[in-house]
Amino acid sequence: MIVRGEKLEELDNPFSIVKALEERSSSDHVAVSYFGRKISYRQLNYMVNSVSSSLDLEKGDVVLLSMQNIPQFIIAEFAIWKRGGIVLPVNPSYTERELDYLIQDSGAKLMIASCESISTDKIPVVRTNPETFGPIPSEYSKAWKLKDCNEELDFKSGGKQANGHETDVRSDDIALLVYTSGTTGKPKGVPITHSNIFASSTIYKHWFKFSERDKNLAIAPFFHITGQIFGITSSILSGSEITTFFRFNPDLTLRVVEEEKTTVTMAVATAYTSMVNAYKGEEDLSSMRLWSSGGMAMPRSLEMKWKEKLGSWIYMAWGLTETTSPATLWPYPYEGDLPLDSEYNVVSSGIPVYNTEVMVSNDGELLVRGPQVVSGYWRMEKFKDGWLPTGDIGKIENGWVYIIDRKKDVINASGFKVMPREVEEVLYMHPAVEEVAVVSVVDEYRGETVGAFIKLREQFSESDELKKDIIDFCRQRLAPYKVPKVVNFVKEIPKTPSGKIMRRAFRNENK
């Protein structure tokens, strides 16, 4: 089965997102807000020109950006693009070993890193300070273990030195090289073109009706594809304001929404869990017209709790690094019931976005094709006929796409296929469960069986009685072969830097 999104003519004429910033170079509208510091589009463009002119780059050179959500990420990124360079965003908590692999595989020539990022002796490193554009409140700077260093980026020469340093950037040039998490084997580079970025940013702009009046609450890390596209480039394309504050913190986030009157955001489900737990009911969050989420499954129980407390659904999205973020989105605005799959009880990830096709293969894997989908992996073969095999098992009902699980995570218990997400959805309904990861564990009789690793809510204590109660709860709602045979309580559920739950952290347990 194939479903297709509506046609959007604007996607037929892609251009570099750098052009969108240049077109706003005379505007005094706020482009970036950071701990009270306001940077206009005029100022942003000036600083981009300044940094661009100071970089010793050739077209096609790869530059690592290692920093959290600070203004310098945006400035440096556009400066690199203006010179025809390729941005390789990395998590500043990466180790030297991880950096060395990326440098070797990508052939990177330079690294621009914030103070807290680890250094490397493989390539030159330029340092930038997270507090250059404003002090971070001490309560957060201590928790985030900020370090001090000299600011080495030049923001002040502006257009005076930029003349003659600009490069002819084409829409089919590579703009981003983003490495996948590497759950099996080494990470693979995903080469994303300016055309891909234009397509995904334009999709978000039109789908969610972005405008200059919007203030984008930039929760998702800029080094992740969601933060890149929803947070940065969609905002720049739309002339919106990017409201950012180094790193996600639930209390800080709710305060920023209330004080800055932000209007739209996209974040992973775990961030919403933190926010709904931190929400006291007194905060004025009425400025938000769109709460959206992607990157991982959204528990039905969380959707219901968010709707009950804040009066709005969390609009789900589905995409991958390889789709430059959006492949499916909920229609906007949406005022219907929560779209649930009748078989697995999972929340739908929406319908195909503009100019995009989604297909279910014979083995249930979802394939995607569209202008935002990359052509292949870094230095590897192209995808056949443009169809990206996503690795997600899914189904399509009435045009809506449902992501059931990751293909590699499916549990084979005595020949019966168990989707971990279905079991997780049931476990999230239990009042004691805050977070959970369901994985395959070795079973001498069945080969594999279902294991559940559970973080309890604060008011509950670990006990054998509670384990039995949770198992009994599942028995009433699941077929016998789907019921967890192993239940372990854990203090924390490990997550990726972008906030996704890491099932793989538990796969070696009980083996």
Give a three-class secondary structure readout of 49-80.
HHHHHHCCCCCCCEEEEECCECHHHHHHHHHH
* CA distance linking residue 417 with residue 479, whole number of Å: 12
Torsion of CA 296, 300, 306, 312, to 10 degrees: 90
Give a three-class secondary structure readout of 364-414.
CEEEEECCCCCCECCCCCECHHHCEEEEEEEEEECCEEEEEEEHHHCEEEC
Q: Could you report the per-residue pLDDT of 132-149, keeping only the tens digit for each?
A: 999 999 999 999 989 999
Q: Quickly state the pLDDT bin for 508 (edges 50, 70, 90).
A: low
Q: Could you report the per-residue pLDDT of 282-303, keeping only the tens digit for each?
A: 999 999 999 999 988 899 999 9
Q: Could you report the per-residue pLDDT of 105-122, keeping only the tens digit for each?
A: 999 999 999 999 999 999
374 contacts 196 by C-beta, under 8 angstroms: yes
pLDDT of residue 309: 96
pLDDT of residue 159: 57
Res. 183: pLDDT tops 50: no
Percent of the chain at pLDDT exceeding 90: 87
CA distances from 49 to 126, 199, 494, 510 (A): 17, 25, 40, 55
* CA distance linking residue 387 with residue 240, whole number of Å: 33
Residues 6 or more apart whose Cβ sits within 8 Å of residue 132: 71, 72, 151
pLDDT of residue 161: 46
- Residue 374: which of 302, 301, 436, 321 has the closest Cα? 321
Torsion of CA 467, 434, 328, 348, to 10 degrees: 50
pLDDT of residue 167: 80
Q: Quickly state the pLDDT bin for 507 (edges 50, 70, 90).
A: confident
The sign of the torsion formed by the CA atoms of 66, 72, 78, 80 equals negative
Mean predicted confidence (pLDDT) in 265-281: 96
Q: Could you report the per-residue pLDDT of 392-434, keeping only the tens digit for each?
A: 999 999 999 999 999 999 998 877 889 999 999 999 999 999 9
* CA distance linking residue 439 with residue 427, whole number of Å: 13
- Residue 502: which of 407, 392, 367, 409 has the closest Cα? 409
Least confident of 176-190, 293-307, 359-373, 434-448: 176-190
Tally the residues of the chain.
Answer: 511
- Residue 267: which of 3, 498, 458 has the closest Cα? 498
Res. 511: pLDDT tops 70: no
Instruction: Name the pairing type of β-strands 416-418 and 433-443.
Output: unpaired
CA distances from 266 to 111, 222, 227, 292 (A): 28, 12, 8, 5
H-only helix segments in 212-324: 225-226, 234-238, 250-260, 269-278, 300-310
Q: Could you report the per-residue pLDDT of 160-173, keeping only the tens digit for each?
A: 544 445 688 999 99
pLDDT of residue 445: 67
pLDDT of residue 447: 78
β-sheet bridge partners, residue 453: 437, 488
Residue 483 is classified by DSSP as S
Res. 245: pLDDT tops 80: yes
State which amino acid sits at residue 220. A
Which tokens is 78 given? Answer: 């556009």
Q: Could you report the per-residue pLDDT of 28-58, keeping only the tens digit for each?
A: 999 999 999 999 999 999 999 999 999 999 9
pLDDT of residue 356: 98
The pTM of this model reads 0.90
* Cα 280 to chain centroid, rounded: 26
197 contacts 229 by C-beta, under 8 angstroms: yes
Res. 332: pLDDT tops 90: yes
Percent of the chain at pLDDT exceeding 70: 96
Q: Quickly state the pLDDT bin for 185 (edges 50, 70, 90).
A: low
Instruction: Report angle CA 324, 215, 499 to the nearest 5 degrees.
Output: 50
Mean pLDDT of the chain: 94
Which tokens is 109 given? Answer: 């020539």
Mean predicted confidence (pLDDT) in 370-380: 96
CA distances from 201 to 20, 70, 221, 328, 333 (A): 11, 20, 16, 14, 18
pLDDT of residue 181: 67
Kindly report each contact of residues 4-7 with a partner whose C-beta sits within 8 Å and lies 24 or more positions away, as own/partner: 4/352, 4/356, 4/357, 4/358, 5/351, 5/352, 5/353, 5/354, 5/355, 5/356, 5/357, 5/370, 6/354, 6/355, 7/354, 7/355
- Residue 33: CB atoms within 10 A of its CB come to 22
Residue 485 is classified by DSSP as S
Mean predicted confidence (pLDDT) in 381-389: 96
* CA distance linking residue 330 with residue 456, whole number of Å: 31
86 contacts 131 by C-beta, under 8 angstroms: no
pLDDT of residue 254: 98
Domains in the chain with CATH codes: 38-169 (3.40.50.980), 410-506 (3.30.300.30)
Q: Quickly state the pLDDT bin for 246 (edges 50, 70, 90).
A: very high
* CA distance linking residue 431 with residue 425, whole number of Å: 12
